[in-house]
Amino acid sequence: MEAIVTQFFNIEIMVKALPLVLQGFGITLLICVVVIPLGLVGGLLAALASVSQNRALRWSAIAFVDLFRAVPPLVLLIFIYAGLPFAGLSLSPFAAVAIGFFLNNSAYFAEIFRAGLLSVHKGQTEAARSTGLTQTQALIHVVLPQATRNVLPDLMSNVVEVIKLTSLASVVSLGEMLHAAGLVRSLTYNASPLVLAAVIYLVMLWPVVRLISRFERRIAS
Amino acid sequence: MTQAAQGAVAPPTLTVRGLRKSFGAEEVLKGIDLTIARSELVFVLGPSGSGKSTMLRCCNRLEEPDAGEITLEGDPVTGPKVDLNRLRLRMGMVFQAFNLYPHLSALSNVTLALRKVRRLPRAKAEALGLAALDRVGLKAKAGSYPAQLSGGQQQRVAIARALALEPSVMLFDEPTSALDPELVGDVLAVMQDMKAQGMTMLVVSHEMKFARDAADRVIFMDAGRIVEEGSPEQIFEAPQHERTETFLARFSGRG
Ligand SMILES: Nc1ncnc2c1ncn2[C@@H]1O[C@H](COP(=O)(O)OP(=O)(O)OP(=O)(O)O)[C@@H](O)[C@H]1O
Ligand SMILES: [Mg+2]
């Protein structure tokens, strides 16, 4: 029992680790701020393409989504960071993470947006078009607000997944939070910094998870 | 006739010439000709699948005609250089399923096109929107969302949404078919009132009593063609075609 406390809940070590872990937390936040909007925009565009009338566009979008949903993000990240230099393209760790997550996130967000777009009845667009709105105006003012609202819990759950996935950035030595915590652990031979990182994740994500449950209940009722 | 006198004759509100439409191998409209004069109410009857909805939807090109010409007050609706979105402001459409926007209040449903297509400032759009809701007796429900309204109220908001754009013609596709019987009357009353105000209307419906009371002309469609047309008395009392007769007999038998 005592061993667990000293190994995992050692306050002294946590306090020492805190500055480094917080620095890592800053980088985690930075990755999230870049990667989540990119993924949302990419996902929305891919979803729109996947329901378009244009066959070539539709199929490219579906191929893109299938491919990047099937490739494990860890492999994708290593490939972009360590593989592309062989093709003459060297990227900074941050750029590699941004691109890798953009591709992976877009594919997942696209599936969610696609379900949302398909959930809006065709009569909605027809009503809008019958009053003179263009296809784009009908999309912006009528279809997208409903589509987004219908899949809001799924979008938010995916955001939580993405935040947790940012820890993968450690494989390309980007010093995000888990990377920092792991570093302190290997210096101290003590797992407490990892627990500290977990607590910070929990504090950050718990409100979001609660919010999702509330939305889900509201939509169910 | 002199040039000036010719110019003074207003063109019909809506004309349809040789309208054809197929879905895949199935020819749904096999050459429709129709002229609707200003302030006329034309009522369209016909069995399920006869092409009534498709004809209506071709008029504002929600469905793209394969062949034929359509004009609105003399302006071409079909053809290459048509500004369809401008034209659609002049053709209101009311759907069987209402198709109100569920994420917008009744008033915002009505003002969306006023603001985004006619580009009116918010205050002006809302004034027109409230006036349109008032015409259908729902000014008090301006802030309500579709889910908070009865079916009859939703359909009246949908009518207001079309009316607010001050269209030259209104197209109705079975506006009361999705309604509980006790809510049908309110919607028909609004349509009667529009007729009294001189609105030009093309109405696909099964409300025979409404046809008798309000229609100037009744058209019977079957298998993609107009089989017969005439005054309500002619069609209901003395149909010339057997198919019309059978259809009407089945209908009166049913209720
Ligand atoms: N988008 C479409 N794609 C394929 N077929 C269609 C489409 N719309 C209509 N049809 C077919 O065209 C025919 C005519 O349909 P339409 O909806 O115009 O008939 P209707 O007279 O309005 O019938 P109802 O009284 O049932 O509404 C039907 O056989 C229908 O299945
Ligand atoms: Mg129909």
pLDDT tens profile A160-169? 999 888 888 8
Strand, helix or coil at B46?
Answer: coil
> What pLDDT score was predicted for residue B21?
98
Strand residues in B157-235 grouped as ranges (E)? 169-173, 200-204, 217-222, 225-230
Q: Give CA separation, B154 vs A11, A162, B103, in Å.
A: 63, 41, 13
Q: Is the pLDDT of residue B66 over 50?
A: yes
**Residue with CA at minimum distance from ligand 1 atom 7:** B23
Give the Å distance between the CA of B53 and the centre of ligand 2. Answer: 4
**Which of B62, B100, B158 is closest, CB to CB, to A129?**
B62
Q: Is the pLDDT of residue A197 over 90?
A: no
Structure tokens at A169: 């950035």
Q: Is A130 in Cβ contact with B88 (below 8 Å)?
A: yes
Structure tokens at B69: 């010409």
Give the Å distance between the CA of B50 and the centre of ligand 1. Answer: 7
**Residue located via tokens 């027809």:** A126
- pLDDT tens sequence across B182-218: 999 999 999 999 999 999 999 999 999 999 999 999 9
- CA dist., res. B241 & res. B164, Å (int): 40
Residues of B in contact with A146 (CB under 8 A): 101-103
In angstroms, the separation between the Cα of residue B18 and the nearest Cα of chain A is: 23
pLDDT range class, residue B3, cuts 50, 70, 90 = very low
DSSP state of B147: G
Structure tokens at B174: 């079975």
Please compute, for residue B228, the number of CA atoms within 13 A of its CA located in the half-sphere on the CB side: 20
Question: Which whole number is the average pLDDT over A137-141?
Answer: 97
- Going from N- to C-terminal start, the domains of chain A cover 2-220
> What pLDDT score was predicted for residue B2?
44
Strand partners, B16: B34, B70
* Span of A11-25, A125-139, B153-167 with lowest mean pLDDT: A11-25
pLDDT higher at A139 or A211: A139
Structure tokens at A94: 């941050």
Q: Give the contacts of B141 (CB within 8 A, at least 6 positions apart).
A: B106, B133, B149, B153, B157
DSSP state of A9: -
> What are the backbone dihedrals phi and psi of residue B92, each rounded to the nearest 5 degrees, phi first?
-80, 145
> What pLDDT score was predicted for residue B7?
54
Determine if the pTM surpasses 0.90.
Answer: no
> What pLDDT score was predicted for residue B169?
98
pLDDT range class, residue B8, cuts 50, 70, 90 = low
In angstroms, the separation between the Cα of residue A133 and the nearest Cα of chain B is: 6
Q: Is B101 in Cβ contact with A131 (below 8 Å)?
A: no
Give the Å distance between the CA of A51 and the centre of ligand 2. Answer: 26
- CA dist., res. B129 & res. B116, Å (int): 13
The length of chain B, given as a count of residues: 255
* Span of A84-93, B81-90, B135-144 with lowest mean pLDDT: A84-93
Residues of B in contact with A121 (CB under 8 A): 97, 99
pLDDT range class, residue A180, cuts 50, 70, 90 = confident
Give the Å distance between the CA of B12 and the centre of ligand 1. Answer: 27
Question: Which whole number is the average pLDDT over A172-200?
Answer: 85
Helices A177-188 and A11-50 pack at an angle, to 10 degrees, of: 150
Question: Which whole number is the average pLDDT over A155-160?
Answer: 92
Strand, helix or coil at B22?
Answer: strand
Pocket of ligand 1 (CB under 6 A): B 23, 28, 46, 48-54
> What pLDDT score was predicted for residue B246?
93
Please compute, for residue B61, the number of CA atoms within 13 A of its CA located in the half-sphere on the CB side: 23
User: Could you tell me which chain B residue has the CA closest to the CA of A140?
Assistant: B116
**Is the C-alpha dihedral spanning A84, A86, A90, A94 positive or negative?**
positive
pLDDT higher at B210 or A212: B210
pLDDT range class, residue A28, cuts 50, 70, 90 = confident
Give the H/E segment covering residue B26: strand B26-36
Q: Residue A130 in contact with residue B112, Cβ under 8 Å?
A: no
Enumerate residues 137 to 166 of chain B having a beta carbon within 8 A of any beta carbon in chain A: 158, 161-162, 165
**Residue located via tokens 């009316």:** B163
Average confidence score pLDDT of chain B? 94
Instruction: Give the ligand with the smallest distance to the CA of B45.
Output: 1
Q: In CATH, what number does A2-220 get?
A: 1.10.3720.10
Strand, helix or coil at B97?
Answer: coil
In angstroms, the separation between the Cα of residue A42 and the nearest Cα of chain B is: 25
